[in-house]
Amino acid sequence: MSRAALVFGGSRGIGAAIALRMARDGFDVALTYVSRPDSAETVAAEIHAMGRKALPIRADSADPAAIAAAVEETVSHLGLLDVAVVNAGLLRLGPVESVSLVDLDQMLAVNVRGVFLAIQASVARMRDGGRVITIGSNTAIRTGSPGSSVYAMTKAAVAAMVKGVALDLAPRAITANNIQPGPTETDMTAAMAERLKEIVPLKRIGQPAEIAALAAYLAGNEAGYMTGASLTIDGGYVL
């Protein structure tokens, strides 16, 4: 029987690495994107080259209807879900005095409400014994720089959310865990990579494949006794 994974925000960076790792581990993979269909198609082509099915889906995680539709489209093409990875997120920085209501609402809509709705829609169409994995941030533990109050708040909310979700899903043997990456080499960090290297104890930033490897562990059978956990992977930044 084939296995199906859905990666929300799977066209670039960490999400793309997770989508590719899921395919490498034998999953057929659906991945959502918002603004970069070219990147989504590139990831899909790589998954097809591995001999797995790939389904890129345009779905804005700020749109509840789009989230629900993405799950239904995935199930229609790939079957019931075995794994749902919620990676879609929005980062907008600014000091507390100047954060606009628009930016506040958009980050809450994607990073908190969107995560909850993605989990809610996914588990309704997930096999018992499945896996829910969220991609949070080490800023839930330590912000480290000014201007990140709203982003850190949303990621702390995800860490708390996963604990409750884990309890709700335990009777179905579905685990829910949260990965908290630190500085990782993505489009989002490209402009500040050298500065970030200096503040990470290991003196480098993470690679998306390293985050994907942790997601692969959480998606596998060996992680069946872990649920409600937030796992920080950040080169020692929060120590």
- The CA distances from residue 149 to 91, 107, 141, in Å, are 11, 11, 12
Q: Is the dihedral of CA 228, 233, 236, 237 positive or negative?
A: negative
Catalytic annotation, residues: 151
